Amino acid sequence: MEYTHTIDGRGETSETFFDVINPAEGKPFAQCPDASKAQLDAAVAAARRAFDAWKQLSYEDRRGYLNRFGKAFKERVDELIPLLVREQGKPLAAARAELSYTPLQIEKLCALEVPDEVLRDDERGRVELRYRPLGVVGIITPWNVPVSIAVGRIAQALYTGNTAVQKPSPYTPLTTLKMGEISRDILPPGVLNIVAGGDSLGPWMTEHPGIDKIAFTGSVATGKKVLASAASNLKRVTLELGGNDAAIVLEDADPAKVASDIFWAAFANSGQICLAIKRLYVHDSIYEPFCAALAELARTAKVGDGMDPEVRIGPIQNRMQYEKVLGFLEDTRRTGARILTGGRAMDRPGYFIEPTIVADIQEGTRLVDEEPFGPILPVIRYSDIDDVVRRANDTRYGLGGSVWTSNIATGAAIAARLEAGTTWVNQHSLPDAHVPFGGAKESGLGREYSTLGLKGYMEAQVLNIPKAKAG
Ligand code: NAD
């Protein structure tokens, strides 16, 4: 298969290439073109040229283009599933779910409206609040859910009248490049450019004077660099960053009912989800049975190459992350915590780590305080609700949080006290197009999705019109 950037509506290769590794084998399986600075400049220039006509289209026209793109993508889903599994590592069913969501995600986002608002209309005149597109949006995305995250930002940027240059992670660039290929027959040239590259490409984008906004999704550390660099021309910035989500299980929760949902909210995508449960607080009175139920789920979940339809948990996506997660395990072992199951790398090629449940662990350890982003869950004991809320909030992260209980009203009252962008009762799930999504504290800046998200891709403009006077 050939992989090309999409620049000004055309496919382009590069002079140099980098390897894309299948994490289930730990070996390269494809080569990706590595965009040069000149290619990025060409993509930005094309997006700038396309902006004038694109911004003048109605929402309805842009919705039409985007939904046609979604439909064309849908026709290619079956073909793209194995590619996403091979580059990302996730199981077949998860790859199918991610790719199949694309047309629906576009449809949902493009069904939203950003109406102009009338702030005052009286004898003095009329004051309107309007929303205008910003220009060229640079979209930088991570390797964990590469297609969905990119599509969400692309749909919001384009629907609101901007044009875009998108850069996938160098670990998972290929399905996204294919998405660009599909767009070429549908979107006007330059409206969507997709360029893949190595470590320099992201900083080139955040420094680029021709880019008006950066929509970044990735780690907190990189997010801070993006924000600093975007200051060069005061680019608008949204940052969707890491999390260390706490889930609190109250004493009235039934392990038989909620353990499985909690387990999968922590271990789906091998724990590599921003909104995964990463700290589980369980009431002392049900602590042991709860730990036992989780350990059983971890022991019986089939781990392996995502291409095997029986597999539920794939490898860690890349070598660096794999070594990072092993570092967390080593550190955890030193703390004297009880490793109930897992705890080791698997003796096979690829970046596999056994699903790991850790009991009798506290704050002050790396596993509890940081984001491991892997298949390893600390289960922490508590006995007092005010104390556990304080501990759950005692973090620089603030992406999500959940409360699990048989009393929904109590759950809602406690969930509202969690300092996070999204909190739930008896669930801990993924973003939806109609609902604003983003992080409190160091988990992010701004919101994606919903009309609030769309407004983040626009500039508010006040139009102040006096009442017409004769003469
Ligand atoms: P990362 O920050 O290493 O990389 C993200 C993207 O930024 C990649 O495309 C990378 O090439 C690029 N990049 C790297 N350095 C850059 C720089 N200096 N300037 C501009 N771009 C640069 O993150 P990752 O390891 O790919 O992803 C994992 C992290 O992403 C986790 O922390 C996870 O929680 C977070 N994440 C957050 C969300 C969310 O919506 N909040 C969603 C998914 C992942």
Q: Catalytic pick from 274, 291, 442, 448? A: 274
Q: Is the CB of 238 under 6 A from ligand 1?
A: no
Does 274 participate in catalysis according to the annotation?
Answer: yes
Helix axes 92-110, 77-88, angle to 10 degrees: 120
Beta carbon of 243 within 6 Å of any ligand 1 atom = yes
Q: Could you tell me which residues come within 8 angstroms of residue 443 by beta carbon, excluding any fewer than 6 positions away? A: 220, 241, 242, 243, 274, 397, 398, 399, 420, 421
Please work out, in degrees rounded to the nearest 5, the angle formed at the alpha carbon of residue 322 by the alpha carbons of 318 and 328: 150
Instruction: Show pLDDT as tens, one digit a residue, over the chain (471 residues).
Output: 899 999 999 999 999 999 999 999 999 999 999 999 999 999 999 999 999 999 999 999 999 999 999 999 999 999 999 999 999 999 999 999 999 999 999 999 999 999 999 999 999 999 999 999 999 999 999 999 999 999 999 999 999 999 999 999 999 999 999 999 999 999 999 999 999 999 999 999 999 999 999 999 999 999 999 999 999 999 999 999 999 999 999 999 999 899 999 999 999 999 999 999 999 999 999 999 999 999 999 999 999 999 999 999 999 999 999 999 999 999 999 999 999 999 999 999 999 999 999 999 999 999 999 999 999 999 999 999 999 999 999 999 999 999 999 999 999 999 999 999 999 999 998 889 999 999 999 999 999 999 999 999 999 999 999 997 755
CA distance 362 to 58: 55
Catalytic site residue from 87, 240, 354, 371: 240
Q: Is the CB of 422 under 6 A from ligand 1?
A: no
Q: Is residue 242 within 6 Å of ligand 1 at its C-beta?
A: yes
Q: What is the pLDDT of residue 471?
A: 54
The finding on whether 227 has its CB within 6 A of some atom of ligand 1 is: no
270 touches 313 (CB < 8 A):
yes
Closest atom of ligand 1 to 443 CA is 41
* Annotation marks residue 110 as catalytic: no
Q: Which atom of ligand 1 is nearest to the CA of 399?
A: 41
Report pLDDT for 430: 84
Q: What pLDDT was estimated at residue 269?
A: 98
